[in-house]
Structure 1
């Protein structure tokens, strides 16, 4: 029963079934009977966990288990103390209110790969980097959170899930590796 760490590239669909002219997980992972434990939208990139163990998949992805997920987010604009505080506290997004999150204004990490294609750059609009840690992960949640405080997301990279992080388990986009599922169970 493998646990796969996979660095999903930008614009890859989080499914194995064929998609019209779009790359899917099947283009990168030829491992039978594995399924994603959580998803990333096509515009997002970064760490995914996949397994053939339904119980493990549930332990990783179910909201009641509260596995922390950390995202590196490039936003348009420069966050001030007020916008960072709003992101940290429950935020009403209309159809739900987020839980508290951990948010930091950071420098772009030196280990981050360039995105292909690169984000559009606008000379009159500065960009900034944040790390945002959440445990719920609703559809497009981080993008909606940053937009709600006036900082639209330009690039979104999930860099950690539970005990696994791209900084300590370096994988380039499209690369994957198998880890012992007990490593997850021991650390959660």
Structure 2
């Protein structure tokens, strides 16, 4: 359990498409890509888990190292929920494969909650937009994973034949035993961030992990 520290910071950020999930980009000093530093000017906070450059949505950032470790480590199985736009409309066989878990390279994914959405969710437009093909329909899934391997959602949908076109994380669950606090985007627009509010901090303390 982390020691109490009045200087700990806890932030939620809606990461836009194309932004690196880090504060510096040393790969191309002449033409650096946008990073978290373009949006967040608070020193020494780091993201809990990552989203790749092409993914969007919720990041939880903190300077509380023990909490960061707990929420990042797959052994604690904290749920993460995504909206996933895919090519075509997955059939029941593909959806059940995703739910049961499937082999990707050298590992088998854990069972996943997967729901095929009946309509397009209300999400902000992406800049740039995905490349549509008139002859290829798309569908939206809601997927909740309890692990976060590199590009896992993209690899899972590709493995069952439905490549991911757009990926938005909308919630991060913080749980201990049978209690869960869901941190969500709520009204955060792409590029906006906020600190956890009083009630969210109380809920984390009630879980016994602050």
TM-score by length of 2: 0.84
Report what 1:170 is aligned to.
187
Q: How does 1:68-87 map to 2 (within 5 A)?
A: 68-87=79-98
1:117 and 2:128 matched: yes
Deviations 1:120-145 (A, max 9, x none): 00000000000110011100000000
1:48 & 1:184 partners in 2: Cα distance?
17
Report what 2:25 is aligned to.
18
1:142 & 1:22 partners in 2: Cα distance?
24
Shift of 1:77: 0.7
Report what 1:58 is aligned to.
69
The size of the alignment, in residue pairs, is 185
Alignment RMSD (CA, Å) = 1.3
1:25 & 1:132 partners in 2: Cα distance?
25
Shift of 1:108: 1.8
Gaps of 5+ in 1: none
Report what 1:3 is aligned to.
10
Report what 1:40 is aligned to.
51
Shift of 1:17: 1.5
Moved over 4 A (4+): none
SS in 2 for 1:132: strand
2:146 & 2:190 partners in 1: Cα distance?
23
**145-154 or 88-97: bigger deviation:** 88-97
Shift of 1:49: 0.3
Deviations 1:90-119 (A, max 9, x none): 200122100000000012212x10000000
SS in 2 for 1:7: strand
Deviations 1:35-88 (A, max 9, x none): 111000000000000000001111221111111000100000111111100110
The structure whose Rg is larger is 2
2:67 & 2:170 partners in 1: Cα distance?
20
TM-score by length of 1: 0.94
SS in 2 for 1:48: strand
Gaps of 5+ in 2: 1-7, 174-181
2:206 & 2:61 partners in 1: Cα distance?
18
Shift of 1:185: 4.3
